[in-house]
Amino acid sequence: MPVVSVSLMNVPGTEAAVGWAGGHCIIADRPEGKAGGMGLGFNGAQLLALAIGGCFCNDLRYIAHRRGLAISSLAVKVHLAMEGEPLIATGAEMVVQCALEDGSDPQPLIDEAKESSMVGCSLPRGIPVRVSAGQGA
């Protein structure tokens, strides 16, 4: 079974965290003035919305390559609805604008990506998240 691991640690002199996987990194922070945040990076809701949209974009391109199609333009907007205390995500809506170089209808690609997107398919099913204190995190 494949496993993906990422690491996060504090950014010295801030209350933000830098997260990385392989050679890629991202900053997670709260908005400036909120709980020590300095607005240096994305908050959790933004990261979740980016995961939904980013995974979908990648899957759309995998499918296009598999079918021998080229995407000439792609724009995705994700709207993440939240409510409650603690604040939780209650739904997401994704709007996809996609054009193929050959002018064919991109809807079949969009439909397949919707059915196979790892993040998009995992969230509605729910996943357990275990949290423990440990050394060498």
**Are residue 38 and residue 48 in the same domain, yes or no?**
no
Q: What is the dihedral of CA 3, 42, 27, 94, to 10 degrees?
A: 40
Number of domains in the chain: 2
Q: Kindly report the CA angle at 39 between 4 and 80, in degrees rounded to 5? A: 60
Residue 136: band (very low, low, confident or very high) from pLDDT cuts 50, 70, 90: low
Question: Mean pLDDT across the stretch 127-136?
Answer: 84
Q: What Å distances lie between residue 98 and 57, 71, 103, CA to CA?
A: 10, 7, 10
The answer to the question of residue 133 being in a domain is no
Beta strands in the chain (DSSP E): 7-10, 17-21, 24-28, 71-83, 88-100
Instruction: Give the CB-side neighbour count of residue 17, counting CA atoms within 13 A.
Output: 11
The answer to the question of residue 137 being in a domain is no
* Domain housing 32: 1-42
Question: Mean pLDDT across the stretch 102-125?
Answer: 95
Contact between residue 26 and residue 19 where contact means Cβ atoms under 8 Å apart: yes
Distance CA(92)–CA(17), nearest Å, equals 25
Question: Mean pLDDT across the stretch 24-33?
Answer: 95
Distance CA(123)–CA(52), nearest Å, equals 9
**Are residue 62 and residue 15 in the same domain, yes or no?**
no
The answer to the question of residue 58 being in a domain is yes
Model pLDDT, residue 24: 96
